Amino acid sequence: MIRPSVPEPEPAEPEPVLRVATWNIHDARGLDGKRDVDRIAEMLGQLGAPLVGLQEVRCGSEGCDAAYLARQQGYHWHAIKTWRHGDIQYGNALLTTLPVESTRLHDLSVGRHEPRAALEVHLPWQGQRLRVVVTHLGLRVGELRTQVERLLACLPPDDGSITILLGDINEWWLWGRPLRWLHRRFGASPSLRT
């Protein structure tokens, strides 16, 4: 029996995928306790993500780890300093291969707790506008709740951007209020150990 040939359908264009990562690099110290910025750079190269949010990034008299990592892996970088220990400052950074349109700083500090902030960066991607927020929130329950409330207040949901929140949220309870508030605004993300 001869069957008429039917042309194969054209393969669909793949959905555009944007790889993002967030990583608290803990002053570039590994589980062995050694500070090794090159080890961080090597891992960033393996990730191959055009957007990487970093927390606990060191900047001191010898330079800023964000700048070094950006040079090693071909990124642009933006960093905010939130905490000082002697001559060394720590903060959050965004490494990106995308062009940056604008940046904003949001102070999330609460009382006498360690200063905290969020870096908001606007970038174009695939004809869309991205709003990427990099932060590192506090450890205490009341502090965390206040910071999440402030963060949500300074990021209006109707600005026409796709918002990507990258950070060390420090919420240990998957059912905790701050995480539920973030999920309500941004959608739930997988709860994977990192």
Q: Where in the chain are the domains?
A: 20-186
Q: Which residues contact 4 (CB under 8 A, 6 or more apart)?
A: none
**Using CA atoms, how far apart are residues 155 and 62, in angstroms rounded to an integer?**
34
C-alpha to C-alpha distance for 104 and 113, rounded to whole angstroms? 22
List, for residues 20-50, the tens digit of each pLDDT value. 999 999 999 999 999 999 999 999 999 999 9
pLDDT number for residue 13: 61
* Residue 175 in tokens: 């059912």
- Measured between alpha carbons, how far is 97 from 2 in angstroms, rounded to an integer? 54
Q: What is the CATH number of domain 20-186?
A: 3.60.10.10
What does the pLDDT read at residue 178? 92
Give residues with Cβ within 8 angstroms of 1, minimum separation 6. none
Per-residue model confidence (pLDDT) at position 6? 55
> Which pLDDT belongs to residue 166?
96
Residues of the chain with pLDDT under 50: none
Q: What is the pLDDT of residue 14?
A: 60
Residue 156 vs residues 126, 185, 186: alpha-carbon distances, Å? 22, 10, 11
